[in-house]
Chains A and B, each alone.
Chain A
Amino acid sequence: MTSAPWLSLTIWIPILFGLAVLVFSDRHAAQVRQISLIGALAGLAVSLPLYTGFNTQTSAMQFVELTPWIPRFNIRYNLGVDGISVLFILLNSFITVLVVLAGWESIKRRVAQYMAAFLIMSGLLNGVFAALDAMLFYVFFEATLIPMYLVIGVWGGPNRVYAAVKFFLYTLLGSLLMLVAFLYLYDKSGGSFSILDWHKLPLAMIPQLLLFVAFFLAFAVKVPMWPVHTWLPDAHVEAPTGGSAVLAAILLKLGAYGFIRFSLPVLPDASHALAGFMITLSLIAVVYIGLVAIAQTDMKKLIAYSSIAHMGFVTLGFFIFNAYGVEGALVQMVSHGFVSAAMFLCVGVMYDRMHSRNIADYGGVVNTMPKFASLMMLFALANSGLPATSGFVGEFMVIMGALKHNFWIGFLAATTLIFGAAYTLWMYKRVIFGAVANERVAKLQDIGAREFLVLALLALAVLGMGLYPQPFTEVMHASVDALLQHLAQSKL
């Protein structure tokens, strides 16, 4: 079972399917959709052995693949997963299937290119999570920009060009500085791009701080953390439904993943020194962005701001340096992957019918779309962090961790339970409940089998993770413990 190069398969199968569908024109849209679905399912299928064959007892990298790639710079095609990264590959492969299904009917123009962009992006994202060579990581990290840029720009809303360019340049700014940081580490480590070598590399405080700043700019933009978050609402609002779902569910995780894979273990002393700064920014995201979300009138914008607030929880969990915090943050990342994707897909369902994202255009949707309303209820509750949903587990663990660290940090973090409930449920109330607002709402059709399947799968995931989080947390224990022990040792 473990002999096959599973990680390579999770990367290259979606990419190859993506390239394959590119040859079709719009006349063969039906075939394109089928092939894409097969590709996405194949990608999911080859990622399952990563979970079933995963050894939860060790923090070492598993499913390791290693071949020289560019010997000139000692860059190696080195893949592997530990308890931190494996879940994201599964999450990504799962979300890709849903995104392909969600775009089944709503995308009519350039279907092949749309599907190809998502499949290629899916493979590249798996590559980011699996890469153990920094340059390989960088190549995948940057390459994801190209399909996302096209997805926002080609299939996006009216202001798509602005949003796409802003998205691209913001991210590129951060990642170019990260490239300089990588080259610095390459030089210091005597010519190695291996991330695991860098974990052991001793570094003085000043270089650590400078590198931290470079990594911070790269990853904080991706997360996004306040105050470099402004690209996200634009990108989300303009992106097509599938684009928003992948952006929120997976692309944002790249930033958080970067912190836990690079900033924390490579620069432990700088991380400790700047923890206060990071916690402050995270709390601003949780509290201030939470308040901003309440004021939104556009559903997608509201969910975008809620994403920023939830990701604030993730960075908060990382920088309080205890097991509750880090594991809670990882759980929150996975949960947010499900919940935010679900919320965006819900908005997509309504948008396909009404062509409006404005909360004011809706009201009383429950009267015409009862099935949809009940599913969305579950996701809204998960988004506000209600117990028994996946949203609760991560937030609860991070709040526990924060309370152990400092009462007031925990207290401020806990306000999210109020704000999160306020903005999500208030939006839900205005859109779904009440009397039927207008004729267009009265004519709405409830969700069909395909839409139901997509949302039901996500609902199962959200409920399953909320009721029985053990399968998710047991995978990460060993790796998180090793990370925390590593963090406790100074590299000076």
Chain B
Amino acid sequence: MFVADTMGGVLKFAAYIAVCTTLVYSRAYLTDRGLWKGEFFALLLFALMGILVMISANHFLTLYLGLELLSLSLYALVALDRDSARATEAAMKYFVLGALASGLLLYGMSMIYGATGTLDISQVAKAIATANPNKIVLTFGLVFLVSGMAFKLGVVPFHMWIPDVYHGAPTAMTLIIGSAPKLAAFAMAMRLLVMGLLDLAVDWQQMLVILAVLSMAVGNLAAIAQTNIKRMLAYSTISHMGFMLLGLLAGVVNGNWLNAADAYSAAMFYVVVYVLTTLGSFGMVLLLSRAGFEAENLEDFKGLNTRSPWFAFIMLLLMFSLAGVPPTVGFYAKLSVLQPLLAANMTWLAVVAVLFSLIGAFYYLRIVKLMYFDEPVDTTPIAPSLDMSVLISINGLAVLALGIMPQSLMALCYFSIKAL
């Protein structure tokens, strides 16, 4: 039902840190908007619990339970600002599409149950390897499973909810949705695809190739057209999740497992780095917001270097990390995903991936351009609370420090995957 392993431990630890950081970043924002109250904490902690359950689930039902706990808490969190029409609309969209995804996932699980006669993930793996179950039912189940998962990860063509929800939700909630749940989604993919259905790798790898390429294309191209930073970061999420899938799909080549630990640990490293960087980026949006003002347009970043050189520098690091430019850690995330791709002889996919990251670099550069090359429109002094300034500085500098010394985190991911 439930496994305690190193991968789970590391991911849970990261999820705890992400949620703690979220609390610090969103305090001022939510207080200004009258949302810093009981329900928020209860829902956030339930969401965290859902994440933890998902990370350690080794049984279809446990996994589903964790997922629903997480999703339902998030739906409510998005709608917490109940007088905001935009947030309510976002919550509704999120709920409808999320419920559909859960349905797909559940349907997939039921088919796999039908084929293998068990809901326990390790038993499923054993049954597929030894009992020779009905391949057609199994493949159908797999398709539904992957679709449901793709919904939760937000990869194309199951990405529709991401921009609307990221945009519509209060920024603090966007921060929550964009950070720790990605760790859970990665864990879900690992548990289902790698630990449960590795023998079907040939089938799901092809699906992931399509999902990954489409996500990188749509995510990066659509992000260019955005004028709202939350929407832009939403499309950037889509492209990053697509990139992460590249790590998952390069693990097994022609039945050869040599590459597996490299590839899966690369995907894990990518997700952890992504969460770290996203926390900082949305944190910066929160930092610039104040009572009655949402700093959610790209314009609001104009001249940040004049207003506050330090925070502009932190945002610069975060943006270059998302773009994957060394010496920030985002580069090593890309590097470690590309390496197994090359080793798996999928050079064309690596070339596609780097070409789309080139397109992606454009819109991150635009933020840097706005901050450094333009003059400020809004000259209100930026006065974040001390805890927030300290934490966001640590967050930004961590992106740089891990970029100069990435070994520790890489090794941690590698060993936790190796231990599976």
A183-B350, A187-B343 known; A154+B372 contact, CB < 8 A: yes
Q: Are A142 and B326 in contact (CB under 8 A)?
A: yes
Which of B125-133, B355-363, B385-393 sits within the interface? B355-363
Q: Does B407 contact A176, Cβ atoms closer than 8 Å? A: no
Q: Can you list the 4 inter-chain pairs with the closest CB atoms, starting with the nearest?
A: A176-B354, A139-B326, A153-B373, A183-B342
Q: How far is the CB of B268 from chain A (nearest CB, A)?
A: 13
Q: How far is the CB of A141 from chain B (nearest CB, A)?
A: 9
Question: What are 25 A-B pairs at a CB distance below 8 A?
Answer: A22-B309, A70-B332, A70-B410, A72-B414, A73-B410, A135-B335, A138-B326, A142-B325, A143-B326, A143-B327, A149-B365, A150-B372, A153-B372, A154-B372, A161-B369, A161-B373, A168-B361, A168-B365, A172-B361, A176-B355, A177-B351, A180-B342, A180-B347, A183-B338, A184-B342
Chain B residues, Cβ within 8 Å of A60: none
A160 within 8 A of B: yes
Task: Write the chain A residue with the least CB distance to B413.
Answer: A72
A388 beta carbon closer than 8 Å to chain B:
no
- Nearest-CB residue, chain A, relative to B332: A70
B331 within 8 A of partner (CB) = yes
- CB proximity of B302 to chain A, nearest CB, Å: 12
Complex interface bits, B397-420 against A, C-beta within 8 A gives 1, otherwise 0: 000000000110011001000000
A150 proximity list for chain B (CB < 8 A)? 368, 372
How near does chain B come to A48, taking the closest CB pair, in angstroms? 27
On whether the beta carbons of A165 and B410 are closer than 8 Å, the reply is: no
Q: Does B339 contact A (CB under 8 A)?
A: yes
Pair B410/A72 contact, Cβ less than 8 Å: yes
Within 8 A of A (CB), among B283-310: 305, 309
Report the bound CA distance from A135 to B309 in whole Å: 30
Q: Which of B326, B368, B410 has the most chain A CB atoms closer than 10 A to its own CB?
A: B326
Q: Give the distance to chain A from B345, nearest Cβ to Cβ, in Å.
A: 9
Contact with B along A349-361 (1 / 0, CB 8 A): 0000000000000
CA distance A172 to B362 in the complex (A): 10
Asked whether, in the complex, the Cβ of B368 is within 8 Å of the Cβ of A149, the reply is yes
B414 close to A160 (CB less than 8 A): no
Determine whether the beta carbon of A164 is less than 8 Å from that of B369: yes
List chain B positions with a Cβ less than 8 A from chain A.
Answer: 305, 309, 316, 320, 325-327, 331-332, 335-336, 338-339, 342-343, 347, 350-351, 354-355, 357-358, 361-362, 365-366, 368-369, 372-373, 406-407, 410-411, 414
Interface members, chain A 267-304 (any B CB < 8 Å) = none
B326-A70 in contact (CB<8A): no
A453 within 8 A of B: no
Are A71 and B407 in contact, with the CB atoms below 8 A? yes
Number of A-B contacts defined by CB within 8 Å: 92
By a CB distance below 8 angstroms, the chain A residues around B350 are 180, 183
Q: Is the CB of A165 within 8 A of B327?
A: no
Find chain A residues with CB under 8 A from B332 CB. Answer: 70
Q: Which residues of B contact A110 (CB under 8 A)?
A: 305
* Cα separation A154 to B336 with both chains bound (whole Å): 33
A70 to B410, CA, bound (A): 9
Query: Which residues of A lie under 8 Å from residue B342 when comparing CB positions?
Result: 180, 183-184, 186-187
A70 cross-chain contacts in B, Cβ below 8 A: 332, 406-407, 410
**A 410-435 to B, binary, CB cutoff 8 A, 1 in contact else 0:** 00000000000000000000000000
The distance from the CB of A402 to the nearest CB of chain B, in whole angstroms, is 35
In the complex, A145 has a CB within 8 A of chain B = yes
Rounded to whole Å, the gap between the CB of A216 and the closest CB of chain B is 15
B343 A169 Cβ-Cβ under 8 A: no
Cα–Cα, bound, A104→B358 (Å): 36
With most chain B CB atoms within 10 A of its CB, the pick from A149, A173, A177, A183 is A183
The CA of A161 and the CA of B335, in the complex, are separated in Å by: 29
A78 nearest CB across to chain B (Å): 15
Closest chain B residue to A136, Cβ basis: B326
Contacts A142-B331, A176-B357, A180-B347 aside, 5 further interface pairs with beta carbons under 8 A come to A72-B406, A72-B410, A160-B373, A161-B373, A179-B338
Q: 1/0 per residue A433-455: CB within 8 Å of B?
A: 00000000000000000000000
The CA of A475 and the CA of B169, in the complex, are separated in Å by: 64
Tell me the smallest distance from the CB of A221 to a CB of chain B, in Å.
Answer: 12
Kindly provide the distance from the CB of A154 to the nearest chain B CB, expressed in whole angstroms. Answer: 5
Interface assignment of A8: CB less than 8 Å from any CB of chain B: no
Given the known A-B contacts A153-B372, A168-B361, are A179 and B335 also in contact in the complex, defined by CB atoms under 8 Å?
yes
CB of A166, distance to nearest CB on chain B (Å): 11
Chain A hits for B407, CB < 8 A? 69-72
CB distance from A18 to the nearest CB of B (A): 13
A154–B375 alpha-carbon span in the complex (Å): 10
Q: Mark A178-192, 1 if CB is under 8 A from B, else 0.
A: 011001101100000
Q: Chain B nearest CB: distance from A110 CB in Å?
A: 8
Query: Contact at A165–B351, with CB atoms within 8 Å?
Result: no
A180 touches B354 (CB 8 A): yes
CA distance A161 to B302 in the complex (A): 13
Alpha-carbon distance A168/B325, docked complex (angstroms) = 11
How many angstroms from the CA of A72 to the CA of B261 in the assembled complex?
12
A143–B358 alpha-carbon span in the complex (Å)? 15
CB-nearest residue of chain A to B325: A142
A153 to B325, CA, bound (A): 18
Query: What chain B residues lie within 8 Å of A176 (beta carbons)?
Result: 354-355, 357-358
* Shortest beta-carbon distance from A343 to chain B in Å: 26
Determine the chain A residues whose CB is within 8 A of the CB of B325 once the complex forms.
142-143, 145-146, 172
